[in-house]
């Protein structure tokens, strides 16, 4: 049977259906996030291939990715300073246009794809900060879980179909997937401009206070709830990084074939389609329980995957099972931060929060490199599991009734 309450918030609003007056609400931002997923998902498998073609060395490509990761981190941290002098709407628009520039450089081919990757990463970092700041401005706290579910549900199609579509288009012409990215970026730009986001609900005190990145970091680390809200998504992102990079390598080294890694990645992304059901379960319990469940079960699955390494298919099955709970974290891991950030620090703290993605791109390969100096590939999954279990421990500090509507909260100790 269909559940009308579950499906009603997955339907396109009439405003977006007509594409005339899109609204800055949970559904509108969810669709914007879905369009960006098409942009990023289409090039997810394309960039590594074109980069390897351009440079001919996997080691050199890895070094380039590492440097670009650092640039991405610095970009995210400097966005608040930039928005002090440039309206946020303009910064967001430039970020989206950078996706289009990346696409044009990708069409050019050759070593220009390095600049294309740099532009795409900077666009993602800047867009992420602005997107989160707008969400905090326009979406009520009670709608955060709905927004995250909508964003993941709409984005699932980009992440599931995009990688396969991008590689398939590249088989006809190397620039074909980038043409699709450019068109999606222009549509995303048009949609966000029509939403009339402006510079957000700016607060005077923000403009009076310096937004130097180091000052933002200091204020961030002075608020333990924000640190907790950053650490949990960091570990979740590291878990995904280990999975997508090493499940294919493990499959090849154990004689399962090259296709296993791609299929496993697609199956993991399909888990995003379960986001509405996970939202329903989370609403029946609490954000704290959802976060701790996701961290605990995914961590245990990853550790068991290492122990089951002599049985490769069992290892792959355990990893896929673990990603189901990483998807649960995709639904809820960002909520502790969103519910804890002060309205007067939305832009600054959003920039620090968004750094978890770039930090995971630095931490994960560093940890993997150290592990592989001593152990086989399967051991990296145990390292990922250990990180998830650490996040489970940290999540114990969250309030037991975080995310529970006020009318349903239990008064007194729990």
pLDDT tens track for 5-45? 444 444 444 444 444 556 667 677 778 888 888 898 888 77
Per-residue confidence band for 82, with pLDDT thresholds at 50, 70 and 90? confident
Distance separating alpha carbons of residues 115 and 101, to the nearest angstrom: 9
State the average pLDDT for the chain.
77
Mean pLDDT in residue range 291-301: 90
- Please answer whether residues 391 and 356 qualify as being in contact, where contact means their C-beta atoms are separated by less than 8 angstroms: no
Mean pLDDT in residue range 270-291: 78
pLDDT tens track for 334-350? 777 777 676 666 666 76
pTM over 0.85: no
pLDDT tens track for 238-271? 888 888 777 766 777 787 865 666 677 777 877 7
Distance separating alpha carbons of residues 72 and 360, to the nearest angstrom: 12
Distance separating alpha carbons of residues 36 and 377, to the nearest angstrom: 32
pLDDT tens track for 85-129? 888 888 889 999 999 999 999 999 888 999 998 999 899 888 888
Q: Which of 270, 51, 264, 246 is nearest to 158 (CA)?
A: 270
Domains annotated on the chain, with CATH? 22-202 (1.20.1250.20), 218-403 (1.20.1250.20)
- 30 to each of 35, 135, 192, how far by Cα in Å? 9, 10, 12
Q: For helices 312-332 and 379-395, what crossing angle results, to 10°?
A: 30
What are the structure tokens assigned to 184, written together?
């999606």
Per the model's pLDDT, the better-predicted residue between 167 and 191 turns out to be: 191
Phi-psi sector, 410: left (phi>0), alpha (psi -120 to 50), beta: beta
Per-residue confidence band for 143, with pLDDT thresholds at 50, 70 and 90? low
Mean pLDDT in residue range 311-325: 90
Q: How many CA atoms lie within 13 A of 235 on its CB side?
A: 29
Distance separating alpha carbons of residues 7 and 86, to the nearest angstrom: 39
Check residue 403 and give its pLDDT: 53
pLDDT tens track for 40-76? 888 877 776 777 678 776 557 667 777 887 888 788 7
Q: Which of 247, 232, 187 is nearest to 340 (CA)?
A: 232
Model confidence at 152: pLDDT above 50: yes
Distance separating alpha carbons of residues 97 and 81, to the nearest angstrom: 20
- 69 to each of 53, 58, 177, 207, how far by Cα in Å? 20, 16, 23, 29
Per the model's pLDDT, the better-predicted residue between 69 and 213 turns out to be: 69
Sign of CA pseudo-dihedral 343, 345, 351, 353: negative
DSSP character string of 80-101: HHHHTTS-HHHHHHHHHHHHHH
Per-residue confidence band for 183, with pLDDT thresholds at 50, 70 and 90? very high
What are the structure tokens assigned to 327, written together?
């998807």
Q: Which of 332, 335, 370, 371 is nearest to 353 (CA)?
A: 335
Per-residue confidence band for 202, with pLDDT thresholds at 50, 70 and 90? very low
- Please answer whether residues 403 and 145 qualify as being in contact, where contact means their C-beta atoms are separated by less than 8 angstroms: yes
Percentage of the chain lying above the pLDDT 90 cut:
14
DSSP-derived letter for residue 409 is P
- 23 to each of 30, 76, 144, 197, how far by Cα in Å? 11, 26, 16, 9
For residue 141, how many other CB atoms are within 10 A of its CB? 11
Percentage of the chain lying above the pLDDT 70 cut:
76
What are the structure tokens assigned to 355, written together?
């750094």
Q: Which of 221, 202, 63, 44 is nearest to 134 (CA)?
A: 202
């Amino acid at each position: 049977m269909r559940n009308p309450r579950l499906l009603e918030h997955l339907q396109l609003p009439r405003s977006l259906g007509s594409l005339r007056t899109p609204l800055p609400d949970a559904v509108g931002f969810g669709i914007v996030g879905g369009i960006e997923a098409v942009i990023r998902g289409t090039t997810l498998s394309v960039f590594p291939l074109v980069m390897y073609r351009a440079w001919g060395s996997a080691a050199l490509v890895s070094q380039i990715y590492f440097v670009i990761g650092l640039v991405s981190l610095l970009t995210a941290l400097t966005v608040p300073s930039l928005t002090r002098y440039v309206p946020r709407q303009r910064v967001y628009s430039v970020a989206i246009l950078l996706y289009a520039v990346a696409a044009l450089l990708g069409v050019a081919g050759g070593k220009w794809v390095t600049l294309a990757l740099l532009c795409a990463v900077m666009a993602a970092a800047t867009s992420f900060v602005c997107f989160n700041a707008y969400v905090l401005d326009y979406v009520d706290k009670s709608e955060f879980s709905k927004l995250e579910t909508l964003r993941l549900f709409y984005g699932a199609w980009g992440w599931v179909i995009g990688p396969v579509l991008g590689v398939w288009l590249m088989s006809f012409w190397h620039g074909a997937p980038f043409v699709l990215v450019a068109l999606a970026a222009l549509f995303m730009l048009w949609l966000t401009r029509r939403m009339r986001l402006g510079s957000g609900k700016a607060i005077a005190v923000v403009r009076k206070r310096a937004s130097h990145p180091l000052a933002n970091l200091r204020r961030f680390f002075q608020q333990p709830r924000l640190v907790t809200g950053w650490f949990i998504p960091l570990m979740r992102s590291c878990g995904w990084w280990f999975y997508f990079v090493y499940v294919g390598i493990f499959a090849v080294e154990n004689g399962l074939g090259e296709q296993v890694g791609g299929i496993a990645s697609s199956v993991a992304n399909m888990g995003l389609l379960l986001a509405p059901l996970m939202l329903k379960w989370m609403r029946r319990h609490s954000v704290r329980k959802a976060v701790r469940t996701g961290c605990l079960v995914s961590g245990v699955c990853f550790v068991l995957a290492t122990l089951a390494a002599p049985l490769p298919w069992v290892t792959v099955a355990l990893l896929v099972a673990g990603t189901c709970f990483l998807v649960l974290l995709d639904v809820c891991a960002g909520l502790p931060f969103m519910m804890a950030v002060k309205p007067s620090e939305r832009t600054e703290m959003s920039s620090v929060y968004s750094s978890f993605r770039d930090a995971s791109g630095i931490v994960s390969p560093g940890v993997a490199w150290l592990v592989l100096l001593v152990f086989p590939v399967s051991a990296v999954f145990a390292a990922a599991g250990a990180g998830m279990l650490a996040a489970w421990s940290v999540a114990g500090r969250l309030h037991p009734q975080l995310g529970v509507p006020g009318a349903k909260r239990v008064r007194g100790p729990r």
